[in-house]
Amino acid sequence: MSKFGFLKKFKGSSNNENSNINFKIENDNCNGEECRKCVIACPNNVLIVENNQTSVGNPLGCKSCRVCASICPNDCIIFKDSF
């Protein structure tokens, strides 16, 4: 398994190695279009909301700054070292 192989189980992340994403998104608690705080806060335009769910639109752009995780009111964005 490649060093990014674990990403395959992450919803919204790429299934190839062209990704810097090391978090998962728990959309069950996401407020979607009503919120979009993570989308607005991300300095690198990584996240998108579509069909009322958050996902990764630009997997190469993530710098793991964790601004998205810290601003989410429902703790939907969970980094790998937290589970």
Site for ligand SF4, rule CB under 6 A:
30-32, 35-38, 42, 44, 46-47, 49, 54, 62-68, 71-74, 76-77
Q: Which is nearer to ligand SF4, 15 or 24 (CB)?
A: 24
What's the chain's length in residues?
83
Residue 83 Cβ vs ligand SF4, minimum distance, rounded to whole Å = 16
Cα-Cα-Cα-Cα dihedral sign, residues 56, 80, 26, 72? negative
Closer Cβ to ligand SF4, 5 or 32, answer by number: 32
Q: 54 - beta bridge partners? A: 49
Q: What does the alpha-carbon distance between residue 47 and residue 35 come to, in Å, rounded to a whole number?
A: 13
